[in-house]
Amino acid sequence: MRWGTVALLAGALAAGALLRAATAGATPMARMAATIGLFVLGLAGSIVLARSQFHAGRRRLERVLVGLGPAFVITDWAGGRPAPEAPDYVVVGPAGILAIVLDDSPAGRWAARRLGRARERAQHAAAWVAAVARGELPEGAVVEPVVALTRRPASPADRQGAVTVLEPEEAGAYVRRFEEPERLAADQRIRVTRRLRRRAWVGTPQRQGHGRPR
């Protein structure tokens, strides 16, 4: 059981006991304390739920990426991007490169606006990848921006636009489109990946390694 869940259960028990005591004794201070406790508990619960949904979506995506096989070289920067321009994941395949950015916004009135920002970040990340890999990419090899949703399904409106928007489970079939034709040989994929990892850490304290290879 995760510590966040344990803390929420303990808080719920404490708030419930306080509320019962306030009801029985009708003490204004106790009622106010119980109200504040319930508010804090609800706020903490929403934060824990949001983080849980985000990490669950991220793990689903990582399981898909890990299962792609040796033709793809994957760098995982989702736990902490070394450079602000870098994507959360870089997938270097035989036909090109995908710069994947995570969108952790839930469904709601602000989802479209947040997705718009994620699309812009994916485009900037793809441009950064293309600039760093210049000289190693042969003609015809593409660098494509992708947004992966971690907390909600993709609606038809989400899928419109220049940047591809995917759910984690859809990533495998989409990435495999970059398995052929082979424009990047195996040694070129390794060189491109190494160049990206080195450039990402230029001027940045190297506290989290060079990205987790897959």
DSSP assignment of 111-138 equals HHHHHHHHHHHHHHHHHHHHHHHTTTSP
Q: Are residues 51 and 73 in the same domain?
A: no
CA separation, residue 169 to residues 11, 34, 61, 121, 172 (Å)? 35, 43, 7, 22, 7
Q: Are residues 43 and 14 in the same domain?
A: yes
Work out the number of other CB atoms within 10 angstroms of the CB of residue 195.
Answer: 16
pLDDT given at position 81: 66
Q: Is 188 part of any domain?
A: yes
Low-confidence ranges of the chain (pLDDT < 70): 1-55, 57, 81, 202-214
Q: What is the CA radius of gyration of the chain?
A: 22
Task: Assess whether 162 and 89 both reside in one domain.
Answer: yes
Rounded to two decimals, the pTM is 0.75
Does 156 lie in the same domain as 98? yes
Q: Which of 36, 56, 76 is the last residue of a domain?
A: 56
DSSP-derived secondary structure letter, 154: P
With beta carbons less than 8 A apart as the criterion, state whether 175 and 98 touch: yes
Residue 61 lies in a domain: no
- pLDDT tens by residue, 116-135: 999 999 999 999 999 999 98
Number of domains comprising the chain? 2
The residue range of the domain holding 182 is 67-213
Query: Is the same domain home to 88 and 48?
Result: no
Same domain, 103 and 200: yes
Q: Quote the CA–CA distance of 101 and 119 in Å, as a whole number.
A: 8
In a domain, 11, yes or no: yes
The single-letter code of the amino acid at 92 is: V
Report which of 142, 101, 94 is spatially closest to residue 119, judged by C-alpha positions.
101
Predicted pLDDT of residue 1:
44
Over residues 170-206, the pLDDT tens digits come to 999 999 999 999 999 999 999 999 999 999 876 554 4
pLDDT of residue 35: 67
Q: Which residues contact 143 (CB under 8 A, 6 or more apart)?
A: 96, 97, 98, 99, 126, 127, 129, 130, 133, 137
Six token digits for residue 1:
């059981």
Same domain? 21 vs 76: no
99 & 169 share domain: yes
Residue 80: per-residue pLDDT: 75
Do 75 and 166 lie in a common domain? yes
| Residue 181, preceding peptide bond in cis (omega within 30° of 0) | yes
- Is residue 62, in this structure, part of any structural domain at all? no
Please tell me whether residue 167 adopts helix, strand or coil conformation: coil
Cβ proximity of 201 and 211 under 8 Å: no
Same domain, 106 and 35: no
Assess if residue 17 is contained within a domain.
Answer: yes
Contact 92, 73 (CB under 8 A): yes
206 in the same domain as 151: yes
90 occurs within a structural domain:
yes
Angle between helix axes 3-25 and 28-66 (nearest 10 degrees) is: 160
Judge whether 103 lies within some domain: yes
The verdict on 41 and 91 lying in the same domain is: no
